[in-house]
Structures are given as structure tokens and as C-alpha cells.
Copies of this chain bind each other. A is one copy, B any other.
Amino acid sequence: MSRISFKEMQTTIKQAFVKAGLSEEKADICAHVHAGSSRDGVYSHGLNRVARFVEYIQKGWVNADAEPTLEKRLTAIEIYNGNLGPGVLNAQFAMNRAMELAENHGLGMVGLNNTTHWMRGGTYGRQAAEKGFVALCWTNTESCMPAWGAKSVGIGNNPFILAVPREKGHLVLDMAMSQYSYGKLQVTRLKNEKLPYPGGFDENGYLSNEPGAIEQTKRILPTGFWKGSGMAILLDILSAILSNGLSTAGIDRAGKGSCGRCNQVFIAFDPVKITGKQFMDKVVEETIAQIKSSQPADENTNIFYPGEQSLKIRNENLRLGIPVDKGIWEEVKKLASE
């Protein structure tokens, strides 16, 4: 494992994206998001997804030049067609619009259809939190997980994000409806490690903590067994209804790769308009204090608020450099220099 500075990683990814056909400005934003995800420890959706994004542009599954277009407006709701543009840019645009609507109405919702992979969902929670907004957003995906009771894949893992701003470190929950994302399985396999808890079923139908065995069967375990399965099904249906987009079944038929033609829903709340910043800060601090004063399960276990571990990893990676898999880093450097 090597470590690369944030600046070097961002510059290299940007070059790869410019070579792939993105404008300088768009490549800059996308590279910042990918490098930022790796910096925060979400390697699977940072550097490790650069090559796939470039491949999708080459295949025509992502349109490097497309911009979102307004389809509908209704008080605090707007619906956009993402026109298969880069998912990161579409999602940033949509969250930004949701915040503008929330500034006027206390709350704003944007439904975004026909978009592409937004990479790390937490990016958009943090985007809102940075501007002082509370956010709730989610995406649907292609089928990548069996519904509870099934052994063939039929539902998405539909990541769901909640975010609350806090000066000393935002609270951000970024959870897929699978106990582990395929990205986490990949990263764990690349490190030759096992999962800390079972993450799916192996080819013999037994619960397993071997990432490779689960990647093969695609029988990843829904978060909380039947609960994550049910939540994934309804997040999918809601995302389609609220964005005028395709359900997971429709995305499967479209066949444009991981999250090609998926939908996202962005809801922003302006806490200043609703109950005030001082009130929010009090609620957040007393909740963190309550969690931190719990008795730890054992002396080696820390109790974190959602987003705290990302912040710790961010600080470490900024100090020491961002760890990279050598093969993946060489591949991205090659894409940047071709």
C-alpha cells in the first residue's frame, strides 16, 4: 500500500476525466468529489471508481456534457431529468436546488430522474450540512441484492443519507440497504481480510464473512435481514414516484451499468427557518454527550456519532497521505496520461 497526497490524487483524477471528455470545470468538481471520498476513507467510491466512470463515458452510459433539465415545479418541489449526465454533478445540482427551495419554504425537495451513479451518497449530505441545512436523500440502483426470502438478485441496495450540520464535525449517516456495499466487499477482498460480521450467503447457502464468496453469489445480506430488504423496496418505489423515474426493475431493463438511469430524491430542511440554529446545536450536543457517556461494550471499543469516523480518517489521510491500492492507482495514472 502506498499513500498519495490529496492534491496529487485530485490532479491525476482530473486529468483522467479531462482525457475522458469532461470539461476542465466539470472534471475539477468530479475529481474533487472522488479524491474527497478516498480522503475520508470511502476508497470504494473514490479513486476505485474512476476507471469505471471513464469506461461508462466511453460506452455512452454517461453523457459527459449533459446538464439537468427542469420537468416540473410545484411549490417546494422540483423534478429534473438528469439526461444521463455525470451523476456527481447532477446530484450536487439537485441538492443545491433543494436547499434554495428550503430557504424559501423551510423545506425543499428535488426529484432527479434519468441520472447516473452519484458515487458516495454522503457527499450530498455533507454538501447540505456545509451550508447549514439538514438533509435526507437517497438513490435507487440496479438489482444487486436478493429480496428477503430470495436467492436471486431483484432489488437495489439503495443508499440512504441523513445529515445534520455541526461546526465541530457534521453528523452524516450514509447507509446502503445491504449490510456491506459491493465497494466494501471489494476493498476488504483487496486487503485479504474478512468481514467483521456475516455479509451474505456463500454458494452453499450459508451466511459468510468471506467477501469473495459473497461477490460470486451476489447474495449480499440486507441490513437487518428483512428490514433492509423492505426498506430498499420502498425507497426504490418512492424514488421513482417522486422523480418520475425508473424503478429498479426499469433500470435493470435499461442495462446501462451500475446506477445507469437511476433516480435520486433530495430533501433539504432549513433549521434556521424551522426551529433555529441555537435549538439545533443544543439538540445535537446533548445527543452526542448522551451517546459518549454510555458505558462502552469493552475497554477497546469506541462509541462514535455518525460521520465521526470519516472525520478521523480524513485528518489522518490529510496528514499521512491517502492509502491507495497500487494496481488501481497505476490504472488511474495511465488514464490520466494516455
Contacts and interface: CB of A to CB of B under 8 A. Distances in A.
Number of this chain's copies in the complex: 2
B234 A162 contact: yes
A157 to B, nearest CB: 12
A105 interface: yes
B149 A250 contact: no
Contacts of A79: 274-275
Chain A interface mostly helix, strand, loop or mixed? mixed
Nearest to A111: B274
Interface in A65-93: 72, 74-77, 79
Contact of A250 (B171, B233, B242, B286): B286
B164 A241 contact: yes
A116 to B, nearest CB: 20
A162 B111 CA distance: 17
Chain A interface size, as a band, is 35 or more
Contacts of A7: none
B76 A274 contact: no
Interface in A227-252: 227-228, 230-231, 233-238, 240-244, 247-250, 252
Contacts of A106: 74-77
B223 A287 contact: no
A152 interface: yes
Interface in A207-242: 223-225, 227-228, 230-231, 233-238, 240-242
Contacts of A306: 230, 233-234
Contact of A147 (B243, B247, B291): B291
Interface of A: 72, 74-77, 79, 104-107, 109, 111, 134, 136, 143, 146-155, 160, 162-164, 171, 173, 175, 179, 197, 205, 223-225, 227-228, 230-231, 233-238, 240-244, 247-250, 252, 269, 271, 273-275, 279-280, 283-284, 286-287, 289-291, 293-298, 301-306
Given A74-B105, A223-B223, 9 more contacts: A75-B107, A143-B290, A149-B304, A154-B290, A179-B225, A224-B228, A233-B306, A240-B283, A242-B275
